[in-house]
Amino acid sequence: MKKYKILFLFLTGILTINSCNTNDLELSDPNQITPETYFANETQVQAAVNAAYANLQPSALYGRLMWFMNDNMSQEAVNGGGMEPNKEVFLNFTFNATNGFIRDYWDACYRGINKANFVIGNAPIIDAIAETELSTATKLKFYAEARFLRAQYYWLLVTKFGNVPLRNGDFSQPEGKAISPKADIVAQIIEDLEYASIYLLPKASEDAGRATKGAAQAFLGKVLLYEKRYGDALTSFEKMSGYDLEANFLDNFLEETENGIESVWEVQYDLTLGTNNKWGTDGTGQNHATFRGQDYGALDWFGSAPSDDLVNSFEAGDKRLNDTFYFAGDSYNNGTSTFEAADFPVGRGWRKYQNYYKQPSEVQESGINAKVIRYADVLLMMAECANEVRTQSEAIGLINRVRARAGATAGGVFPLLSTTLSKAQVFEAIVQERKVELAGEQVRFDDLIRWDRAATFLAGTGFQAGKNELFPIPDAEISSNPNVTSADQNPGY
């Protein structure tokens, strides 16, 4: 299959719970489904694992809000003319603890964690399944998928909220967990990804869309980089195999060429699986369409347009400029139509993730996958690590691999980097390269935060240092979880 199918089965009922509900799995009614009666074969265990993937898809995460939140806060985007006020709050940092999108983001992550924990926490029952029904190797792979996904959801939480409740699949403990320090969450993420790095399958041996060994190694390296454990991060990155850059940069963002050689980890969308519930999945999962095309489409809602700062960051001769944005005079709809200046109130529109290359307009549903990690990102993270603990020459070589794909040549108008750059100059080159290579891919804001550059770059936008590095803990969590109080709220909220 081109993409995995998310199967809910009974999990829709049992596992659509948020962070403050009670997860009562010790059911005594023999007519009810329990882990003891459900986990009997490979199909059932895989269905439980599949359900844990689903919560990356809804509108609260990659289906819609992930794009607006990150692109707006990073100032990569501006209002294209159709941005709603409830999205603009992320442009000017006026959101607060009552924000419904932030609540849905929190809920989507914890629902995903609950589903992953349902597999992890019931390992003794799954282990008891006969080898003839489910091999040990496959059991370990399923646990690794669940732990990879749990790490993904915790990463989305810890990078946006800092300290959050830690739930590790121990069903003997109440769901209303207290806030845990960020360091404890990160430690759990690292532990889960180390496990996943061992037991997941290589990309070449796994179905498209499922977590792989390379994805776990890349994700682990990213976490270690954020922790400034540069040598350990490099070790994890260098274990990856079977990845390379696409010859054509834009192939990363077209539906027909997704899951390619550059793809390390991406959230899957497939319109053939049905989109009837696209408006009903704020945080609950099971959405096979993303709104990214319609929301950002210059000919459609045009809620988001590329900012002047972002567009002006591209160097002359950088081919990524025209692969990232549409301008007046560009063709679309299989080359049969041409964009006019009047189509762009701000002078340009997004090309990445848009369906205009093959159709005259967006139609709400888009089946283009969301790239979470691609190999160009890995190369630039490796360069950042090498610049810290190895040599500038090695770091420059990694950056130049990415630039060469974009058209850079030695001594050209758009040049490859000189091998004589200092450590500080290499770092600035990495900052620049990540900005243009990964434009509109939801990494810039987190980069600004971890580099301690947000206050400077975002000056005048409404960003407040010491506050807006994090989201507020949702009021709904504080009011419903007896172990989380207003004293746990993030500073400034």
DSSP class of residue 232 equals H
The pLDDT tens digits for 219-276 are 999 999 999 999 999 999 999 999 999 999 999 999 999 999 999 999 999 988 877 6
Q: What is the pLDDT of residue 274?
A: 75
pLDDT tens digit sequence for 416-469? 999 999 999 999 999 999 999 999 999 999 999 999 999 999 999 999 999 999
- Residue-level pLDDT at 118: 94
DSSP class of 350: E
Confidence of residue 138 (pLDDT cuts 50, 70, 90): very high
What pLDDT does 273 receive? 84
pLDDT 10s digits, 279-317: 665 655 557 889 999 999 999 999 999 999 999 999 999
Lowest pLDDT segment from 43-52, 114-123, 269-278, 474-483: 269-278
At 176, the pLDDT band (50, 70, 90 cuts) reads confident
109-122 pLDDT tens trace? 999 999 999 999 99
CB 55 within 8 A of CB 285: yes
Rounded-to-integer distance, Cα 250 and Cα 248, Å: 6
Q: Which band of pLDDT confidence, cut at 50, 70 and 90, is reported for residue 154?
A: very high
Distance between CA atoms of 352 and 305, rounded to whole angstroms? 12
Count the residues in the chain: 493
Q: What is the DSSP string of 123-185?
A: HHHHHTS-TTTS-HHHHHHHHHHHHHHHHHHHHHHHHHHSSEE---S-TTS-SSPPEE-HHHH
**Is the model's pLDDT at 192 over the cut of 80?**
yes
Positive or negative, the CA dihedral 169, 476, 78, 277 is positive
Count Cβ neighbours within 10 Å for each residue of 82-100 and write b for 16 or more, e otherwise: bbeeebbbbbeeebebebe
161: Cβ contacts below 8 Å, ≥ 6 apart: 106, 470, 471, 473, 490
According to the model, what pLDDT value does residue 143 have?
Answer: 98
Between the alpha carbon of residue 126 and those of residues 6, 76, 295, 462, 465, the distances in Å are: 20, 46, 42, 50, 47
Reported as a pLDDT band with limits 50, 70 and 90, residue 175 is low
Give the pLDDT band (50/70/90) at residue 37: confident
pLDDT at 16 over 70: no
pLDDT for 24 beyond 60: no
Give the model's pLDDT for residue 287. Answer: 73
Judge whether residue 187 has pLDDT over 90. Answer: yes
For the segment 182-191, the average pLDDT, to the nearest whole number, is 98
13 confidence band (pLDDT: 50, 70, 90) = very low
Query: 70 falls in which pLDDT band (50, 70, 90)?
Result: very high
Enumerate long-range contacts of 384-390, CB under 8 Å, 24 or more apart: 384/225, 384/230, 384/427, 384/430, 385/221, 385/225, 385/230, 385/231, 385/233, 385/234, 385/237, 386/234, 387/423, 387/426, 387/427, 387/430, 388/228, 388/230, 389/230, 389/231, 389/234, 390/234
Q: What is the SS3 assignment for 371? A: strand
Q: Where are the beta strands (DSSP E) in 178-231?
A: 179-180
- Select the highest-mean-pLDDT range: 14-18, 280-284, 360-364, 429-433: 429-433
pLDDT in tens, 369-414: 999 999 999 999 999 999 999 999 999 999 999 999 999 999 999 9
Other beta carbons within 10 Å of 309? 13
Look at residue 167 in the predicted model and tell me its pLDDT.
Answer: 87
